[in-house]
Amino acid sequence: MHAARVAHQLRWVIRAIGREFLDFRFNYPIEIVSAACTTRTANYYLYSNRLFLDDLEFDDRGIAMKHYRVQGLQYNPLFIAWWGLFNLEQYLREKEDKFLQNFLIQVEWLRTNAVERKDGAVVWPVISVLIRAYRISGDKALLALCEKGARVFEKSIEQGGVRTVDGGRVLYEEYPAHPLPRILDGFLFSLLGLYDLSVQTGDPRVSALFSEGLKGLLSQLDSWNYRNKWSWYGTHGYLCPPHYHKVNCLLLTVLGNLTGEKTLLQLSERWDVRNRSVLDKLEIFLVFTVTKNWARLRLPRH
């Protein structure tokens, strides 16, 4: 049994190295969906036919499951939500009912598996996908679930929430645990979820949470900035892989356009791979390779 597990781990490592280094591509295929930047649309802000779809398998109901190196196949609400949003965009583009059905199946799993705590908060906030399901179905129970999901942004990690404070500014953690991972894309996705809910409901409490998080983001941008060329993957000590960097870049553009914050647009422009020279790209690849492998030695699960 031990030998089989070692062999599995070895195959996983070889596969990860091949995918991260041999398939390293700067212009990762992700695009901004311009229609999503209008009020109350069903479209989501980003679309890609590759992003976060690696290592997904599906149970007999069609629910997405993520394959992890250590834990194996697991239900992860974030990837279930993303698979739902991918199918929704496919439906809006191609008008094929199978994509809408796939979207609704993921939404139903999120609804039925949401864990409500004694304080009324829902443990995992996948607000953006549920907001879009509400916009399609008109099901107010989905909107109520989103409002409960926003409560975790009011509570500190010690209280079971995702809220942290640094230098007097509020930040939201994708993985609420110490030491704080401070992963940028998770922070940006959470801000867009709060924005969606604020636009949908006009709730001043949610608007305040979004505003606080935006100010926190602006105060901490330098901590994710590698030489105005690339983004760091939080506090893990390595540069972002190309797909995460492209997500960061595009989400900054989306938030900058939605809020009018020029600082976000300026950093997104600096990080744009189209502004990188050959030497820049070589530097980024080498720094990524060294820092990623060093992180693997320090943090075995990475």
Rounded-to-integer distance, Cα 161 and Cα 122, Å: 10
* The residue to which tokens 């996948």 are assigned: 126
Q: What is the predicted pLDDT for the residue at 71? A: 78
Here the CATH number for the domain that contains residue 142 is 1.50.10
For the chain, the average pLDDT equals 90
Q: Report yes or no on 66 lying in a domain.
A: yes
Residue 88 lies in a domain: yes
Q: What pLDDT sits at residue 3?
A: 66
Helices within the chain (DSSP H only): 2-17, 77-94, 97-113, 127-137, 140-149, 184-201, 204-220, 242-259, 262-271, 278-298
Does any domain span residue 266?
A: yes
Q: How confident is the model at residue 4 (pLDDT cuts 50, 70, 90)?
A: low
Reference 36, options 25, 22, 46; nearest CA is: 46
pTM beyond 0.95 = no
* Token pair recorded at residue 165: 């404070």
C-alpha separations of 55 from 3, 97, 137, 158, 172 in Å: 23, 25, 30, 32, 27
Q: Which range of residues forms the domain containing residue 186?
A: 24-298
Distance between start and end Cα atoms, the chain:
23
Residue 237 covered by a domain: yes
Both tokens assigned to 291 = 């820092």
pLDDT band of residue 299 (cuts 50, 70, 90) is: low
Q: Provide the pLDDT for residue 297.
A: 72
- Specify if 6 maps to a domain: no
Q: pLDDT per residue over 81-122, tens digit each? A: 999 999 999 999 999 999 999 999 999 999 998 877 777 767
> How many domains are contained in the chain?
1
Predicted local confidence at residue 251, as pLDDT: 98
Least confident stretch, 53-67, 115-129, 169-183, 211-225: 115-129
Residue 243 domain-assigned (yes or no): yes
What is the arithmetic mean of pLDDT over 8-19? 62
The residue assigned the tokens 């212009």 is 27
Q: Is 5 inside any structural domain?
A: no
Structural domain contains residue 98 = yes
Find tokens 């996908």 and name the residue.
129
Helix (H) or strand (E) holding 225: strand 225-226
Q: For residue 178, count CB atoms less than 10 angstroms from its CB and return exposed for 0-12, middle for 13-18, buried for 19 or more.
A: exposed
Task: Give the DSSP letter of residue 55.
Answer: T
Predicted confidence at residue 175, as pLDDT, reads 83
Pairing of β 64-68 and β 56-58: antiparallel
Q: How far apart are CA 90 and CA 42, in angstroms?
A: 12
In this prediction, residues 67-79 reach a mean pLDDT of 85
CA–CA distance, 10 with 7 (Å, rounded to integer): 5
